[in-house]
Every structure is written in structure tokens, then in C-alpha cells.
Amino acid sequence: MPAALALTLAANAADAGTVKGVEIDGARVLIHFDEAVARASSFLLDGPRRIAIDIDGARPGPSLDGDGAVSAIRQGWRGSDGARVVLDLARPMVVAGGVFRDAGHTLELTLERASASRFAEASGARPLSFLHFGARPKYKISIPVPPVKRAPLPRVTGDADLPLVVIDAGHGGVDPGAINTDTGLREKDVTLKIARAIRDALVASGRVRVALTRDDDRYLVLRERFGIARRLHADLFISIHCDSVGAGDASGATAYTLSEVASDKEAARLAARENKADIIAGVDLDQNPDVSSILIDLTQRETMNASAGFARLLGREAKPLMPVKVNFHRMASLMVLKAPDMPSILFETGYISNPQDAAFLDSRKGRERIAESVKRAVEIHFARRLAAK
């Protein structure tokens, strides 16, 4: 069976109940319900690695500790019409199969170990569906994953001779991101509002051009997000997200940039491509593989330094205007940050799971303060670049 990018299953029952327990048994995940469930779906999320299971019409139960490959189990509402169970993964795993048992009272998923590259590819593909009819399905219908279509380039606002900043509103479409279990507030909606506020503030400054990777509720694969920015030849890429924890009162914003280890691995992967001519604009990499790898590595290290510098600037400018963590700048191997020739950060604007943070993030005043923080950091970033020329 192909890597399970999404999985849809159906039992005979029409009603749905509460998730009363999630059991991790080696490579099996058993989700138990107090009433029969009719339908569920599963898909993968990268950065960090997660498996999300949506149960139509069901009600979420409590978050739980994980075991083995699953480090934690979080639950919340999927909008107003279902529950979402999220499995935080300690290592890359994909869903190899799934079936309802006990007349719809238990959903059994089979997990399979995967390489980091296979997981990233699976998380970025379109949903693949499997339909099972009856409590004991006798056949299945599988639909091949269609090729990923390149998203059209978004509109760029601003004078043509100004540097370009691309703002990426995280999640969207079938991927709502983190959800506040008390209010139903979805990360994908909050990030889009914040991205628009940042765009408006930057355009009003008149010092940069701005584009959004998405300006509506659509799903974009991770590589296409920074791919859009690279196709536009962006000078800076900012991906907007909201943090979340299953328990505790964590609060404050953080910014992530790419780690050293991730740089080396990505440089090796990029250098191994047959067609390397467009990896770094203006540099011909169609030559000795060792030279190509060194050029990519040097370029990405310079990019990482610029990214880290901008992250520190953002932390300094944000501190007077919004809640930030003491260790604001962090490093991680996140797919959305892996453009080798474009400074990039992932901006976790606060915790959607924290009532105070969530209220701030979903308020006009909060969005204006976040946008002002980014605007100040962007202006200083490009002023320093201009002075260094």
C-alpha cells in the first residue's frame, strides 16, 4: 500500500460518539469510541512531524501521553462538526492501513516506519482515499495521488525596484493547524488574518514589495510555499504560525531558522539533483558534484546567517509590543525554511492553546502589534543590507 497521505474509512453506524481512549500498541494505533463512528480520515503534517486523524461528527476526549514512536496524543475540535486526534511523532511514520472494528467502536490504524524524505513527500501530496463499506470491509477502492500542481504566482504589491518580502500564512484548506479546544479557533484562520495585517503594514511603509503565498483558505504543500517565494525571487520569506501545547500554560512568540545539520543534509540532497541550474540564481551548478555541493553549502550558510540576524531583529522589535519567549530565536529542521538562497524564518506568533495568547492573536490590536513588530524588523534588515553594499 502507498504511504498513507490520507485515509477515509466508513462503518455501518450513522452516529458518532466521544473519543474515550487512544491506545498505542507497537505499530498499531487503536482509537476507541463510546458510540459507533461512521467516518474518519487521516493525513500527515510535517514541521513538526504529526499524524492527524479527523473523525466526522465525533467529540474529542482528553490529550494523553504517547508511547514509542508516538510521543504525545492531542485532541481537539475539528471545527464544529468533528474531533481531531493528533499523534506527535518521535520519528517519521506513515499510516500503512486502517479499518474500523467492533462495529464502528474502534478505529485501528497501522503505522509504518519511513525515511525523513518519504515522510516529507507524503505530507506534501494530495489526499489519497480508501473507502471501506460495512463493519467488516470485503473490498477497497484506491485512488492514485495526482501530480502536485504548481500554484499560480500571487499578486505582488509595491514598486518594482523595492526588495520583495513574501508572507506565508501557515496551514489552510484541509489542514486547519492547531485548534483551541475551548473556542474552536483555528490556526489557519488566525495566520491568514495576521499575514494580511503584516502585508498592509509593509505596503503602507512604502519600503518593500509584498506578496502572500495564500490570500484565502487554500491548501499549499510545504515545498510550494517557499517555492512561490523563490519563483518570485523574494529577498525575505516569513512563514506565520501559532504554537500549541496539549497541557500547561505556555505563552509567547518564537522565531525559528534552519539548523546547521539541516543545512548540510539539504545541501547534499540539492547537489544530487540532475538539473541543478536553478538551485542558486546566477550560479551555474552544472559541473563537478563536489564543487556544486560546496557552492550550495556556502550559499545556504550565508542565507542561514541572514535568517538568524533577521530573527534576532524581530525578537528585539517585538519585545515591547507583544508577549515573546526569553529564548525567542530557535533553530530547527523545518521544511518550509529550506530554500538555500533566501533568508527565511518561521514566526510562531503565540500559543493558540493559551487563552490570553489566543485572544491577543485573534484581536485587531494584537494583529496590529505583530504587524508593527515585523515592519520595524524588515525596515532595519533592508537598511543594514543597503548600508553594507
Query: According to the model, what pLDDT value does residue 59 have?
Result: 83
For the chain, how many structural domains are there in total? 2
- Distance from C-alpha of 294 to C-alpha of 117, rounded to nearest angstrom: 22
| Exposed e or buried b per residue across 82-121, where buried means at least 16 C-beta atoms within 10 angstroms of its C-beta | bbbbbbbbeebbbbbbbbbeeebbbbbbbbeebeeeebbb
Whether residues 274 and 132 fall in one domain: no
Whether residues 33 and 173 fall in one domain: no
Query: According to the model, what pLDDT value does residue 386 have?
Result: 85
Considering the domain boundaries, does residue 1 fall inside one? no
CA distances from 236 to 151, 155, 163, 230 (A): 19, 16, 8, 10
- Distance from C-alpha of 176 to C-alpha of 219, rounded to nearest angstrom: 9
What are the φ/ψ torsions at residue 205 (nearest 5 degrees)? -70, -25
| Exposed e or buried b per residue across 197-226, where buried means at least 16 C-beta atoms within 10 angstroms of its C-beta | bbbbbbbeeebbbbbbbbeeeeebbbbbbb
| Exposed e or buried b per residue across 258-290, where buried means at least 16 C-beta atoms within 10 angstroms of its C-beta | bbeebbeebbeebbeeeebeebbeeeebeeeee
Whether residues 93 and 191 fall in one domain: no
- Distance from C-alpha of 349 to C-alpha of 130, rounded to nearest angstrom: 36
- Distance from C-alpha of 108 to C-alpha of 101, rounded to nearest angstrom: 7
Whether residues 327 and 279 fall in one domain: yes
| pLDDT per position as a tens digit, 279-312 | 444 444 444 455 555 555 656 677 888 999 999 9
Whether residues 112 and 216 fall in one domain: no
Considering the domain boundaries, does residue 159 fall inside one? no
pTM of the model: 0.59
Considering the domain boundaries, does residue 153 fall inside one? no
| Torsion sign across C-alpha atoms 220, 225, 230, 232 | positive
Considering the domain boundaries, does residue 262 fall inside one? yes
| pLDDT per position as a tens digit, 125-149 | 554 443 333 434 334 445 555 565 5
Considering the domain boundaries, does residue 150 fall inside one? no
Whether residues 188 and 324 fall in one domain: yes
Whether residues 137 and 172 fall in one domain: no
Let me know if 347 is exposed, middle or buried by CB neighbors in 10 A (0-12, 13-18, 19+). buried
- The residue out of 82, 112, 142 marking a domain boundary is 142
Q: Which CATH number do you get for residue 61?
A: 2.60.40.3500
Whether residues 193 and 285 fall in one domain: yes
Considering the domain boundaries, does residue 105 fall inside one? yes
Looking from the CA of 70 toward its CB, the CA atoms found within 13 Å total 28
Q: Which CATH number do you get for residue 219?
A: 3.40.630.40
Whether residues 194 and 98 fall in one domain: no
Helix (H, G, I), strand (E, B) or coil at 40: strand
Query: According to the model, what pLDDT value does residue 267 have?
Result: 39
Domain that holds residue 109: 6-142
- Sequence-separated (6 or more) residues with CB below 8 Å from residue 295: 280, 283, 285
Whether residues 309 and 358 fall in one domain: yes
Considering the domain boundaries, does residue 324 fall inside one? yes
- Distance from C-alpha of 345 to C-alpha of 326, rounded to nearest angstrom: 17
Beta carbons within 10 angstroms of residue 363's beta carbon: 12
Write down the residue that cell numbers 518519504 correspond to: 118
DSSP string of 88-150, one letter each residue: EESS-EEEEEEEEEGGGTEEEEEEEE--HHHHHHHHHSPP--EE--SSS----EE-PPPPPPP
Query: According to the model, what pLDDT value does residue 361 have?
Result: 97
Instruction: Give every residue of the chain whose pLDDT is below 70, as ranges.
Output: 1-16, 79-80, 124-151, 246-248, 260-300, 335
Whether residues 249 and 368 fall in one domain: yes
Considering the domain boundaries, does residue 31 fall inside one? yes
Whether residues 46 and 194 fall in one domain: no
